[in-house]
């Protein structure tokens, strides 16, 4: 294996997803604790709180008890199946916003990972937000590892939890560990893969649980250690042998089967098994689909075939795409950071790269990587790594950077907003600041901005109410813009493009002009200059679609 292939092979990049309160933050802390990246669990929370005091926006997050932003953390961990002197696995962990109103952000995070770790509260089973998140994973067949958390509390029956996952999420379960009791009777988990018992010991929450290992289900020590609960375990193991599917790695990689582990994040229990199972099973960086040639920079003409190719992670030439832009990472410098997933080749400190949308070479500046302890300047990054690029306004979500080839990685959409407001400025002197603020928020993907064909006021669109709140707050605090936000009659938007057709370019142009004339009051350009139809209701939308059968009304828009 050459050096590049070896570096790629030791990377694992995943997102951690859950319904709020299932224990995502706690589990993240404990994963970092296991990696040795932090000494004390609680550091993630402490950091959160520290930031919150220095930024109004973060303060809003704290007040509402929600996590708005997405963070990235990387750490190294020895591969459980390789000799101790083998290079460790580089784990890149992406957190996702817990609140449903930021689903779009979560979607984009999921485009940047190769697998997902789903946390389920054992007492609650599969909750609504988890169902939504798995729907998103399914769009890309993302493999999912499941952690059933909070076994130290009274939970649902493990078999019931399995059938809940299978029914609601459409994946078969393959338990890798099995709990023995729960709540006050929680004794530990049995590792079905390695045929050994890991006993739960009530220890301090900030210590790593080593547990006690015994060999095999019929080890007489089990009777000693588990007392009357040993029969429960033996029966369950027998039942599982008949009822559950064996681990099928191909089905897991295709997102059809999910390995299941039980534990208690708060007690550091089952976390190491989870991390090691994840490292063993989850795929390394995967190849990614990209549009090639001139079509990568501009929207292709209707009906024109779009050439694509799969970019392998071990290709020598560097490539990557931006899936997130985040403001206020450091409140002392009003910086905006673009998060880029490396897809192939090597990113090197100080390198220049081809900015495919702009069609020119740019310096990428000093990229940052987020090692659990701190930010670090990146010397070299490989496929699967997530790096933060300083962004002075030239980088948008969806931008692709390469060593020179014209490429655009696909599958990073915007969703049609469902909430709209007209922005009424209180002072006309602030018009410029408003335009700048809205443009920057739109580039971050924090909000969508529409400029109606008729009239001069902006209309903003969001998928969730909280997005609007964050926008108002940030316009005021960062751009000093005071505005009123008036309700408008629209309930959804559709991006308009001509359908592939045999008609000539002139005929298509005429048809588009006719459409624009007849529907002026409902048409607007988004922040990329693309035409969108703002519909007051579904009935109206259906009518217009019927009247213009040659037009495509898209509810998602790919970033170009």
Binding residues: 18-25, 95-99, 149-152
Q: Give the interface size with ligand G4P as a residue count (CB under 6 A).
A: 17
Near ligand G4P by CB under 6 A: residue from 12, 99, 150, 198: 150
Q: Which is nearer to ligand G4P, 98 or 388 (CB)?
A: 98
Contact region with ligand G4P (CB under 6 A), list: 146-154, 350-358, 361-369, 548-556: 146-154
Please report whether residue 26 would count as binding ligand G4P according to CB under 6 A: yes
Q: Which residues contact 220 (CB under 8 A, 6 or more apart)?
A: none
How far apart (Å, rounded) are the C-alpha atoms in residues 41 and 59?
22
Please report whether residue 146 would count as binding ligand G4P according to CB under 6 A: no
Q: Which is nearer to ligand G4P, 153 or 503 (CB)?
A: 153
Near ligand G4P by CB under 6 A: residue from 20, 80, 302, 390: 20
Identify whether the C-beta of residue 191 lies closer than 8 Å to the C-beta of residue 273: yes
Half-sphere exposure of residue 412, counting CA atoms within 13 Å on the CB side? 28
Identify whether the C-beta of residue 435 lies closer than 8 Å to the C-beta of residue 479: no
Identify whether the C-beta of residue 151 lies closer than 8 Å to the C-beta of residue 179: yes
| Torsion sign, CA atoms 339, 345, 348, 352 | negative
Q: Which is nearer to ligand G4P, 46 or 431 (CB)?
A: 46
Q: Which is nearer to ligand G4P, 122 or 498 (CB)?
A: 122
Place of tokens 């060593």: 403
Please report whether residue 21 would count as binding ligand G4P according to CB under 6 A: yes
Which residues does the annotation place in the binding site for GTP? 18-25, 95-99, 149-152
Shortest Å, Cβ 18 to ligand G4P:
5
Residues 87-126: x/- map of binding to ligand G4P (CB under 6 A)?
-----------x----------------------------
Q: Which residues contact 45 (CB under 8 A, 6 or more apart)?
A: 25, 29
Strands 288-292, 483-487: pairing is unpaired
Contact region with ligand G4P (CB under 6 A), list: 21-29, 163-171, 480-488, 512-520: 21-29
Shortest Å, Cβ 146 to ligand G4P:
14
Question: DSSP code of 269?
Answer: B
Near ligand G4P by CB under 6 A: residue from 7, 13, 17, 18: 18
Contact region with ligand G4P (CB under 6 A), list: 18-26, 101-109, 161-169, 378-386: 18-26
Shortest Å, Cβ 153 to ligand G4P:
5
User: Does residue 135 sit in helix, strand or coil?
Assistant: helix
> What are all long-range contacts of 204-209, with beta carbons under 8 Å and residues at least 24 apart?
205/41, 205/266, 205/267, 205/268, 206/33, 206/40, 206/41, 206/42, 207/268, 208/33, 208/34, 208/268, 208/272, 209/267, 209/268, 209/269, 209/271, 209/272
Near ligand G4P by CB under 6 A: residue from 62, 79, 153, 168: 153
Q: Which is nearer to ligand G4P, 20 or 331 (CB)?
A: 20
Q: Which is nearer to ligand G4P, 263 or 284 (CB)?
A: 263
Closest by Cα among 90, 364, 33, 70 to 209: 33
Q: Which is nearer to ligand G4P, 129 or 422 (CB)?
A: 129
Shortest Å, Cβ 51 to ligand G4P:
16
State which of positions 259-288 bind ligand G4P (CB under 6 A).
Answer: 264-267
Identify whether the C-beta of residue 197 lies closer than 8 Å to the C-beta of residue 178: no
Burial of 309 (0-12, 13-18, 19+ CB in 10 A): middle
User: Does residue 189 sit in helix, strand or coil?
Assistant: strand
Q: Which is nearer to ligand G4P, 260 or 532 (CB)?
A: 260
Contact residues toward ligand G4P (CB under 6 A) are 18, 20-26, 98, 149-150, 152-153, 264-267
């Amino acid at each position: 294996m050459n050096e590049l292939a070896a570096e790629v092979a030791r990377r694992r990049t995943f997102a951690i997803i859950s319904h709020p309160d299932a224990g995502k933050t706690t589990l993240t802390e404990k994963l970092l604790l296991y990696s040795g990246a932090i000494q004390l669990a609680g550091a993630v929370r402490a950091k959160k709180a520290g930031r919150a005091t220095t930024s109004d926006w973060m303060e809003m997050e704290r007040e509402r008890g929600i996590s708005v932003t997405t963070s990235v953390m990387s750490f190294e961990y020895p591969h459980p199946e390789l000799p101790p002197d083998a290079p460790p696995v580089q784990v890149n962990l992406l957190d996702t916003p817990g609140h449903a109103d930021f689903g779009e952000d979560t979607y984009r995070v999921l485009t940047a990972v190769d697998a997902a770790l789903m946390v389920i509260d054992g007492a609650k089973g599969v909750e609504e937000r988890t169902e939504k998140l798995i729907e998103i994973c399914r769009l890309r067949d993302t493999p999912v590892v499941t952690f059933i958390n909070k076994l130290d509390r009274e939970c649902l029956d493990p078999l019931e939890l399995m059938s809940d996952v299978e029914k609601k999420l459409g994946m078969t379960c393959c338990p890798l560990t099995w709990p023995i009791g729960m709540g006050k009777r929680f004794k530990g988990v049995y590792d079905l893969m390695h045929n050994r018992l890991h006993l739960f010991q009530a220890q301090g929450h900030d210590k790593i649980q080593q547990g006690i290992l015994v060999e095999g289900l019929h080890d007489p020590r089990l009777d000693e250690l588990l007392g009357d609960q040993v029969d429960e375990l033996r029966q369950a193991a027998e039942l599982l042998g008949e009822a559950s599917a064996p681990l099928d790695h191909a089905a897991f990689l295709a997102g059809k089967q999910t390995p299941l582990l039980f534990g208690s994040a708060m007690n550091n229990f089952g976390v190491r098994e989870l991390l090691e199972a994840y490292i063993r099973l989850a795929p390394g960086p995967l190849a990614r689909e990209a549009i090639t040639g001139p079509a990568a920079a501009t929207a292709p003409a209707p009906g024109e075939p779009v050439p694509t190719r799969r970019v392998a992670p071990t290709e020598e030439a560097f490539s990557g795409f931006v899936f997130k832009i985040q403001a206020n990472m450091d409140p002392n410098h009003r910086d905006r950071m673009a998060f880029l997933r490396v897809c192939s080749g090597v990113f090197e400190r100080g390198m220049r790269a081809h900015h495919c949308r702009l069609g020119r070479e740019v310096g990428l500046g000093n990229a940052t990587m987020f090692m659990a302890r701190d930010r670090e300047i990146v010397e070299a990054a490989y496929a699967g790594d997530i790096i933060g690029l300083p962004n002075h306004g030239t980088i948008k979500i969806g931008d692709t950077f390469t060593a020179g080839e014209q490429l655009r990685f696909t599958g990073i959409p915007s969703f049609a907003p469902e909430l709209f407001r007209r922005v009424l400025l209180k002072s006309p002197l602030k018009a410029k600041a408003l335009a700048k603020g809205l443009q920057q928020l739109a580039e971050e993907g924090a909000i969508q901005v529409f400029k109606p064909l008729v009239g001069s006021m902006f209309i903003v669109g969001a998928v969730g109410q909280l997005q609007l709140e964050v926008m108002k707050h940030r316009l005021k605090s960062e751009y000093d813009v005071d505005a009123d936000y008036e309700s408008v009659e629209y309930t959804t938007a559709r991006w308009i493009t001509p359908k592939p057709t045999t008609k000539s370019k002139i005929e298509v142009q005429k048809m588009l002009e006719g459409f624009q004339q007849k529907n002026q009051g409902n048409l607007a350009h988004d922040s990329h200059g693309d035409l969108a139809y703002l519909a007051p209701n579904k009935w109206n939308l259906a009518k217009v679609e019927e009247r213009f059968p040659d037009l495509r009304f898209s509810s998602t828009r790919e970033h170009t």
